[in-house]
Amino acid sequence: MVMKPNAMNRKFTTALKPFLVELAVYGLLVTVYFFLVLHLLGNGLQNLYQHDRRYYAALSLGLIIGQGLLLEILTRLLLGWLTPRREN
């Protein structure tokens, strides 16, 4: 099946919009998360790093996993709200 240029362009633009929104949301949330963790947990994490690196590593992995889950949930909700559902 050969697609016409207009149909390909339309599919590209409809796929590009959610991607750009998700990219912007990820960028904003990661920046806010970074400064929030730096401000609220910076001294505690530095102290933990200096005294017990095993606990620091475990806590850091937990923060990374938590951040990933939170970002995934928020972007799914946002994209679900922004992207209208279509029935085929």
> 55 CB contacts (<8 Å, ≥6 apart)?
48
Quick one: pLDDT at residue 65? 93
Residue 1 has pLDDT above 60, yes or no: no
First to last CA, the chain: 19
Q: Residues 54-61: what's their mean pLDDT? A: 94
Comparing 7 with 62, the larger pLDDT belongs to: 62
Alpha-carbon gap, residue 82 to 14, rounded angstroms? 12
Q: For the segment 20-56, what is each residue's pLDDT rounded down to a tens digit?
A: 877 887 888 788 888 888 888 889 989 999 999 999 9
Q: What are the b/e assignments for 8-28, b being 16+ CB within 10 Å?
A: eeeeeeeeeeeeeebeebeee
